[in-house]
Amino acid sequence: MKKFLKIGIPLLILILAIVIWWRYYFVFGEGVKAGNLNFVVKKGYIFKTWEGRIIQEGFKTPNPNQMQSNEFEFSVAEDSIAQILERYSGKFVELRYKEYLNAIPWRGNSNFVVTEILEVEKTADHETLPY
């Protein structure tokens, strides 16, 4: 029985550590999103995290007769990036992000975490619809 505990408990701890890493720290995907920055706010009850949203252009949907949200909600892990984004609300931005399988309260509410600001378009060069 002691031999089983000496082998079983470390093995169980190792498996548990791998599962936690896979679900919360494994980077599932990386990419770039672009759109008009709607907001960036710092919020939370216990863990204050930066949360934001960009509105993407276009209405392409995978299935006919369905609406698709063109909003991209994200979290920002670094205060320096979030403070820069705060100043560009309403501007067209390009953001590089990492996608995780699940969110962690101290990292943010979203599975998408912005890691870099690629470009900020300071002038309104985009054509808007008249209505």
Q: What confidence score (pLDDT) does residue 123 get?
A: 59
| Residue 6: per-residue pLDDT | 82
The domain ranges of the chain are 27-121
pLDDT reported for residue 78: 93
- pLDDT for residue 127: 59
Measured on CA atoms in the order 95, 120, 37, 55, is the torsion positive or negative? negative
Res 113: pLDDT:
96
- 63 Ramachandran zone, left/alpha/beta (phi>0; psi -120 to 50): beta
Model-level pTM? 0.77
Taking a C-beta distance cutoff of 8 angstroms, is the pair 37, 56 a contact?
no
Mean pLDDT for each 10-residue chunk of the chain (131 residues)?
83 94 93 94 93 83 68 93 92 95 92 94 61 53
Task: Tell me which of 3.40.50.300, 2.40.50.860, 2.60.40.10, 3.30.1360.70 is the CATH number of domain 27-121.
Answer: 2.40.50.860
For residue 37, CA distances in Å to 21, 26, 57, 84 come to 31, 27, 11, 12
User: What is the SS3 string spanning the chain?
Assistant: CHHHHHHHHHHHHHHHHHHHHHHHCCEEEEEEEEEEEEEEEEECCCCCEEEEEEECCCCCCCCCCCCCCCEEEEEECCHHHHHHHHCCCCCEEEEEEEEECCCCCCCCCCCEEEEEEEEEECCCCCCCCCC
